[in-house]
């Protein structure tokens, strides 16, 4: 069931080009132009990363080599940003949650800089210091809002993290979005290219090939909730598309299932009427942060926040079963 909720409009499910759903709106377009799509999928960052470029038929070998090189860079970045490897840069930073003036490498420092920007843009809802709260949600322990503070100091090319109080970091989607955007930059030679970092998508579309992105329906993995078609006005530019929701990373609890999206205002899994949010923004990193914020905020606050934060389009699936999108999203659903 869908319901019109001003100023949003109900979403009508449509068939996608493929699932997981990203590719040319009409694959024959590429063939007609003597171009081919080259893809590479691999495991990284706790999920599947997919790369895709469109190239001339006589450049297949070089395109495949470029994809392998980008995959290697993604794995190297992921190794520095993961909390599941005790030797990673992030784990070293978390080793002493009270330490100050902790040097951090260029990759981790760059991600933390973006995290500070996103915290302001999302009005505090994106917070990379919620590791303790997430682990408490997973283990069923008590949790409170984070009480410590942190800041990043930069002297020339060197960065360090200082703390006031206990602070532990969990980059999660912020790291994936950053990786997706950086990887797309490495594919700058290709007018049409895509990096899907386990749901955080950085995309560049050529002028002559519209691309579509299918949004998975968490209630039924055999159908799509909706399909977004990148408008031609975005051709030649880049765009980020990300989906966040409470249907993954769930754990049983005495008071019902718990999920991984922590509300920093409470330190506990968000109480929300939004099951899943897909957001379009100028980068994958921004889209990921805004999608997560929309879920944590709930539909009313979330839609207002997305408008203030400059989201380009959004599709929200609610607990009621309704799927809604703002009027600005209609341009993406033609």
Stronger pLDDT, 138 or 293, i.e. the higher one? 293
Confidence of residue 30 (pLDDT cuts 50, 70, 90): low
Q: Is the pLDDT of residue 228 over 70?
A: yes
In angstroms, the CA 316 to CA 322 distance is 8
Tell me the whole-structure pTM to 2 decimals.
0.88
Higher pLDDT among residues 61 and 156, named by residue: 61
Architecture of domain 89-171 in this structure: Orthogonal Bundle (1.10)
Name the CATH topology of 8-81+173-332. Answer: T-fold (3.10.520)
Mean pLDDT score of the chain: 87
Q: Above 60 in pLDDT, residue 125?
A: yes
Instruction: Give yes or no for residue 15 having a pLDDT over 50.
Output: no
| Domain boundaries, given as residue ranges, for the chain | 8-81+173-332, 89-171
Which residues have a Cβ under 8 Å from the Cβ of 327 and sit 6 or more positions away?
A: 7, 8, 9
70-79, 141-150, 249-258: range with lowest mean pLDDT: 249-258
Kindly report, residue by residue over 287-321, the tens digit of the pLDDT.
Answer: 999 999 999 999 999 999 999 999 999 999 999 99
DSSP-H helix ranges across the chain:
28-32, 60-81, 89-94, 106-121, 131-139, 172-186, 284-297, 299-309
Give the mean model confidence (pLDDT) for residues 19-42. 65
When pLDDT is cut at 50, 70 and 90, the band that residue 38 belongs to is very high
How many whole angstroms separate alpha carbon 197 and alpha carbon 178?
Answer: 9
Residue 17 is predicted with a pLDDT of 29
* 3-class state of residue 333 by DSSP: coil
pLDDT at 112: 97
Q: What is the pLDDT of residue 320?
A: 93
Angle between helix 284-297 and 172-186 (nearest 10): 160
Q: Yes or no: say if 177 and 289 are a contact pair by the CB < 8 Å rule.
A: yes
What confidence score (pLDDT) does residue 235 get?
82
Q: What phi and psi, each to the nearest 5 degrees, are found at residue 44?
A: -165, 155
The answer on pLDDT for 192 being more than 50 is yes
């Amino acid at each position: 069931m869908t319901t019109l909720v001003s100023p949003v409009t109900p979403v009508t499910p449509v068939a996608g080009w493929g699932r997981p759903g990203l590719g040319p709106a009409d694959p024959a377009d590429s063939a007609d132009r003597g171009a081919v799509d080259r893809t590479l999928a691999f495991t990284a960052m706790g999920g599947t990363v997919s790369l895709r470029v469109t190239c001339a038929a006589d450049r297949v070998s070089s395109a495949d080599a470029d994809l392998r090189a980008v995959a290697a860079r993604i794995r190297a970045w992921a190794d520095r940003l993961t909390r599941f490897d005790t030797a990673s840069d992030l784990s070293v930073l978390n080793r002493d949650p009270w330490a100050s003036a902790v040097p951090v490498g260029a990759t981790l420092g760059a991600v933390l800089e973006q995290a500070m920007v996103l915290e302001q843009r999302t009005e505090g809802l994106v917070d990379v210091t919620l590791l303790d709260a997430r682990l408490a949600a997973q283990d069923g322990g008590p949790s409170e809002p984070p009480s410590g503070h942190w800041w990043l100091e930069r002297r020339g090319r060197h960065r360090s993290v200082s703390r006031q109080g206990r602070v532990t970091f969990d980059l999660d989607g912020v790291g994936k979005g950053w990786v997706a955007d950086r990887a797309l930059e490495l594919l700058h030679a290709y007018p049409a290219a895509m990096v899907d970092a386990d749901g955080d998508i950085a995309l560049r579309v050529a002028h002559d090939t519209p691309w579509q992105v299918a949004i998975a329906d968490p209630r039924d993995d055999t159908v799509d909730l909706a399909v977004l078609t990148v408008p031609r006005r975005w051709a030649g530019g880049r765009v980020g598309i990300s989906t966040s929701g409470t249907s993954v990373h769930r754990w049983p609890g005495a008071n019902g299932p718990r999920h991984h999206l922590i509300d920093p205002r409470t330190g506990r899994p968000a109480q929300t009427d939004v099951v899943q949010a897909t957001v379009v923004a100028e980068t994958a990193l921004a889209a990921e942060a805004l999608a997560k914020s929309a879920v944590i905020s709930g539909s009313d606050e979330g839609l207002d926040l997305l408008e203030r934060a400059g989201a380009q389009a959004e599709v929200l699936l609610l607990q009621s079963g309704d799927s809604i999108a703002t009027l600005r999203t209609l341009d993406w659903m033609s």
